[in-house]
Amino acid sequence: MTDPLDLVPRVAWAEFRRRLAWRQGEHVTLLGPTGTGKTTLATQLLDMRRFVVAIGTKPQDDTLRYLRRHAGFKLYKELPVSIPKGEDARAIVWPKMRTLDRARKRQLAGVVRQTLDRAYTAGGWTIFVDELYFAARTLRLADELSDIWSQGRSNFVSLIGCSQRPRNIPLDAYSAASHVFLWRNSDRYDVKRLSELNGVNTDIIRAIVPKLARHDVLYVSTRTGAMVITVAPKVI
């Protein structure tokens, strides 16, 4: 009996990144547990774009610190009305809060909502949301995120979103994504949810995902149906 892992080619990360055809306006979703290289891979994807806004919702975030110190991102507590493209066009919006009571959650949700709206309206931006579950469920921004997933292509806006589990986030996160990165997951409900991916052989995906090694990642293009396995970049 053929091992499902043998059905998909392996490609070294450097070669994979060189070959990745990620068009502006196409969305990217990364699904995997903490510590496997998910957000580090996302930062390498962000390096492929010139106009990027990364949204921070956690009091501490090593990924955003890395972007600020090593990738030329400028920190804002909220996004200015306009950031001239070519000048401070790599922005972090990070309204740090030590507590998240009801009033502060509303305040944080307002800043994130405004950031999403301004980036979408300006067009041509890539938006990075590291915690889709928190943004969609806790901050109640699922509708705003879904609007970008469904309409962003028309305005050349790409959304890169990360989550640990597919069943905890809006279906649009992966049904509307052109590029999906999947790490090992043996939860049968999570794996079943991946059946909602469009344009690909989901039987192969469901067979492979539980068998992946810890730092392996299955890349799926819903535009072409192509799949490859690569090794996630080294964790920050």
Position 72 in a domain: yes
Per-residue model confidence (pLDDT) at position 85: 63
Query: Which residues contact residue 10 at a Cβ distance below 8 angstroms, ignoring those fewer than 6 apart?
Result: 228, 229, 230
Our CA angle for 172, 28, 220, nearest 5°, is 95
Determine, yes or no, domain membership for 173: yes
CATH number of 197's domain: 3.40.50.300
| Alpha-carbon distances of 233 from 16, 39, 41, 43, 226, rounded to whole Å | 11, 10, 6, 10, 20
- Domain containing 120: what range? 4-231
Gap between the Cα atoms of 76 and 80, Å rounded? 8
Q: State pTM to two decimals.
A: 0.92
Q: Are strands 179-182 and 216-221 parallel, antiparallel or unpaired?
A: antiparallel
Number of structural domains the chain divides into? 1
CA distance 151 to 67: 27
Residue 106: CA count within 13 A, CB half-sphere:
2
Half-sphere exposure of residue 19: CA atoms within 13 angstroms, side-chain side: 12
The answer to whether residue 100 sits within a structural domain is yes
Q: Mind listing the pLDDT tens digit of every residue in the chain (236 residues)?
A: 567 777 799 999 999 999 999 999 999 999 998 888 888 899 999 989 989 999 988 888 888 888 988 888 999 988 776 776 666 689 999 987 777 788 888 988 999 999 999 999 989 999 999 889 999 999 999 999 999 999 999 999 999 999 988 888 999 998 899 999 999 998 988 888 888 887 788 888 999 999 999 889 999 999 999 999 999 777 65
Residue 200 lies in a domain: yes
Is residue 236 a part of any domain in this protein?
no
